Chains A and B, each alone.
Chain A
Amino acid sequence: MVATVETISAVEEATGKYKYGFVTDIESEKAPKGLNEDIIRFISGKKNEPEWMLNWRLKAYRHWLKMPEPNWSKLSIAPIDYNDIYYYSAPKAAEKLDSLDEVDPELLATYEKLGIPLNEQKMLSGVAVDAVFDSVSVATTFREELSKVGVIFCPISEAIQKYPELVRKYLSSVVPVSDNYFSALNSAVFTDGSFVYVPKNVKCPMELSTYFRINEQKTGQFERTLIVVEDGGYVSYLEGCTAPQRDENQLHAAVVELVALTDSEIKYSTVQNWYPGDETGKGGIYNFVTKRGSCRGDRSKISWTQVETGSAITWKYPSCVLKGKNSIGEFYSVAVTNGAQQADTGTKMIHLGEGSKSTIISKGISAGKSQNTYRGLVEINRGAESARNFTQCDSLLVGQTCGAHTVPYIVSRNPSGKIEHEATTSRISEEQLFYCLQRGITEEDAVSLIVNGFCKEVMKELPMEFAVEAQKLIGISLEGSVG
């Protein structure tokens, strides 16, 4: 078919030029390469961390040393030399900043290119930003307005200093230090991330957003995010990623923990567009992320929405532990892989509470030579009376050299629980295409129409700020490439 040839060239064209592939030149302060207890002491010291935090890190590190690297995913990963990575790198503007004017203009220019709403003009759009530039959070806006209602939104390093009792109470309570290889590594060496605390009955007045960005060459990025919402609170959090072009693989192992108490709701949305590497996958980001939310209180709700288009390797399973009665977990995902990208992503829904409900909608699109795997677990435990799950994972294949895989695990320990799982794999149907062409729609438009329709269920879950960017991303990756 002609369309297939066109497809491949269109895909190449679309992905060949990486829009966000630029490097910002800022002097930075680094720890020596490699990982050992001294490096961890160095990081902890740099952050002026209390004793308990250092011990916590060291415990994680010692545990990590004993763990084997996981190999169960459908990913082929070149061996990672953990001693060939810088674990600490901070922009040199070390003094405390009082206003945006003090921020390095070059840094601001970088944000501008990425379209981060950090300046006055963007403030009007009602987005507060805690920007993580490499490893240190440089500037934070909107804090005053947030503090009026009692919402804490700050870098986690600051939270460790200012709110140690909160951090101690919740840090690693959702993702234990020893949970998995990459979470243990993250616990040992994380340099920064975001901390959000929403007090009782407060609806956070704006959507919170953090742009993570890997910049310094050969720097692994290890963020740690902790979001706690008290009874009756609500927060919507946006996370977006872009990264400059690199030749060597960059390791990214983040941990995100969400805690939702009684009647609270957390909405966590991600657009991930790390550099995917060249056509052979060289130079792309390795993205090993542990994301987990705990619906501790009754009627609490956690909703994960993700649009994954970047990274050479994605290993990511945003999960919900549904402890509270009638708690709700949701997972909406679009994963697009292209070129030599590999994605092994999905979710886990662990039902513990009575009447807990979960919904999983996953849309995987693979093109080029990529491999796209959905891997998910739905577990209904003994006490989860009348729990309910609905799962739908659909895959779309573009071209004959890619793969789409589905690996769901379903464990039911309570007969009153109801689980439904559906999965389909197909390509764009000839009938649909023909129907559109017949009505004078060009092939490219038709394909874009159909793919948009394919992802619609997920896209409509994204907040307004993200919807545009996400649609653009999927457009870049796939418009006119399916046929």
Chain B
Amino acid sequence: MLPEFDNFEVKNRWQKVHIDRFLKSGWPSSKNEEWKFTSLHHLVHKPFKIGLNLNGIVESKSAPSIKGANQLIFRNGILDSQLSEVDSDDLVINNLLDNPSASVFLNQTKLKQHPVYNLTLGAMRSATVIDIDNASSKQTPLIELFFTGGLIKQSSHPVVIVRLAKNSKVNILETHSSYNGLSAPIIFIELGEGSVCNHVKCQVADLDSIQLGLTLINQEKDSDYRNFTLSSGGCISRSELHLNLNGEEAICHLSAIYLGCKQQHMDVTSRLYHNVANCKSEQIIRGVLDDRARGIFQGKIRVAPEAQKTDGQQMTRALLLSRETEADTKPELEIFADDVICTHGATVGELDENQLFYLVSRGIPLIKARAMLIEAFLIDTLSQIRAPELKKQAEYYIQDWVSKSTKLSSSTG
């Protein structure tokens, strides 16, 4: 496993701790409850070279870019300042690794044993920090984080930290379109008191790659976080999100869709910690699986004893388009407070024959009818994205996938 660590030089000495932890635990197998449905054990036989410079191709598929966005382009996990373009005064960008307090900040999470966390913190070459303090500004800046890279035997480990000061606001578009063999990005978002963040993540990487993204969110009092995550790339994809509600009256809304075809393995995992009282969380997850794809949703909501008056809702639905797909769901509730309302729901099924018949009987071709129903199934995940330009991006990738999927299935009969 990653033999390149032998001669690998870390940027900061404390990174070595994470490398050692990773080497000690190795890739998780299905015996690890957190990775029960997504074993990475076989990666032992797939060595990667850690991306150290800006080599490889930049071009990759993506939706039309958004005008006026502050674009940060990462190649092989490293910020390419030549290609990046930032023109908002609200944003201050630094490299956290130049700051001695970095280890303190990065080590405060509970993820000591997390393989992706340790690997990326150990292997990262820089940690881009974006500080936003725009309480008085009328405009909401848009940050576009674009991750790319072009070598199949290479791995990339970007780390981006977004910190929102009190009452600040920001829109984030995160696109992963890498051709690298392994991508293991970590995105931290710290929401200060009263801040608002709309975050759309589109993982549309190459089907040969392995995508292990980790998103870590901390929310202070009155903050409002909306996340939409779309995953359709990678032969193995795991989109993992840990969210801490640390201040009262904070609200979060997470929606995620996974779209799998061929032999893809699509995993969406969320861990939601209600640590204080009076917070609200809502999660909507939709999955569409075709061919021999396997989809996984694991979602845990933990309500601490102090977190009275918590309102936690979660709903997951999977749509199976082919006979050989598999959908695994594990919605988990861990509740230690009594005055709470927590629910989760899960359904798995195929396209409704009656609905399909209804559309076809009204002269709509079968392919189109199918596409309509799949889109309709996915559409309510988009309702919470408040920035129209971000919504358009998500819609673009959904339509792109659905049209390809229906074309494929119609050609195979």
Contact = CB atoms under 8 A, between A and B. Distances in A.
A77 to B, nearest CB: 17
Contacts of B331: 406, 408, 421, 423
A419 interface: yes
A417 interface: yes
Given A407-B330, A419-B349, A423-B345, A412 B320 contact: yes
B323 interface: yes
Given A419-B347, A424-B343, A425-B342, A410 B332 contact: no
Contacts of B330: 407-410
A426 B343 CA distance: 9
Residue in A402, A404, A418 whose Cβ sees the most chain B Cβ within 10 Å: A404
A422 B343 contact: yes
Given A401-B305, A410-B328, A415 B349 contact: yes
Main secondary structure, interface of B, reads strand
B340 interface: yes
B326 A406 contact: no
Contact of A405 (B333, B346, B349): B333
Interface in B318-368: 318, 320-350
A403 B320 contact: no
B89 interface: no
A342 B363 CA distance: 59
A415 B322 CA distance: 7
B33 interface: yes
B327 A412 contact: yes
Given A400-B305, A405-B335, A423-B345, A412 B340 contact: no
Nearest to A403: B336
B305 A404 contact: no
Contact of B321 (A412, A415, A417): A415
Contacts of B322: 415
A415 B332 CA distance: 23
B193 to A, nearest CB: 27
Contact of B328 (A399, A409, A416, A417): A409
A3 B349 CA distance: 45
A425 B323 contact: no
Interface centre among B308, B328, B343, B346 (most CB of A within 10 A): B346
A416 B327 CA distance: 12
Interface in B238-274: none
Interface in B98-150: none
A395 interface: yes
A162 interface: no
A76 to B, nearest CB: 14
Interface residues of B, number: 35
B349 A418 contact: yes
Nearest to B296: A411
A421 B346 contact: yes
Given A402-B338, A415-B322, A410 B348 contact: yes
Interface in A216-244: none
A413 interface: yes
B318 A412 contact: yes
A153 B305 CA distance: 49
Contacts of B345: 420-423
A414 B323 contact: yes
A425 B349 contact: no
A398 interface: yes
B31 to A, nearest CB: 10
A52 interface: no
Contacts of B347: 418-421
A174 B80 CA distance: 61
B321 A399 contact: no
A72 B305 CA distance: 22
A397 interface: yes
Contact of A417 (B339, B342, B346, B348): B348
A228 to B, nearest CB: 33
A75 B333 CA distance: 15
Nearest to B294: A413
Contacts of A402: 336, 338
A399 B308 CA distance: 11
B342 A424 contact: yes
Contact of B350 (A397, A400, A416, A422): A416
A427 B344 CA distance: 16
A72 B340 contact: no
A44 to B, nearest CB: 34
Nearest to B310: A425
A409 B326 CA distance: 13
B326 A407 contact: no
A425 B305 contact: no
B339 A427 contact: yes
A53 to B, nearest CB: 34
A415 B33 contact: no
Interface in B60-96: none
A415 B333 contact: no
Given A412-B348, A415-B322, A419-B347, A425 B328 contact: no
Interface string A418-440: 11111111110000000000000
A426 B321 CA distance: 36
A422 B331 CA distance: 10
Contacts of A403: 334-336
Tell which of B327, B333, B336 has the most Cβ of chain A within 10 Å: B333
B29 to A, nearest CB: 14
Q: Of B320, B332, B336, B348, which is in contact with the most chain A CB atoms at under 10 Å from its CB?
A: B348
A398 B33 CA distance: 29
A125 to B, nearest CB: 41
A200 to B, nearest CB: 37
Contacts of B350: 415-416
Nearest to A4: B338
Contacts of A416: 350
Nearest to B312: A425
A411 to B, nearest CB: 5
A408 B346 CA distance: 10
Interface of B: 33, 305, 308, 318, 320-350
5 contacts: A395-B335, A402-B338, A404-B335, A405-B334, A415-B322
Interface of A: 72, 380, 382, 395, 397-427
Instruction: Pick the 6 closest A-B CB pairs, nearest first.
Output: A415-B320, A397-B338, A415-B350, A410-B329, A421-B346, A412-B348
Given A404-B333, A409-B329, A425-B341, 19 more contacts: A400-B337, A402-B338, A406-B331, A408-B332, A408-B346, A410-B328, A410-B348, A411-B326, A412-B329, A417-B348, A418-B348, A418-B349, A419-B346, A419-B349, A423-B344, A424-B341, A425-B333, A425-B342, A427-B340
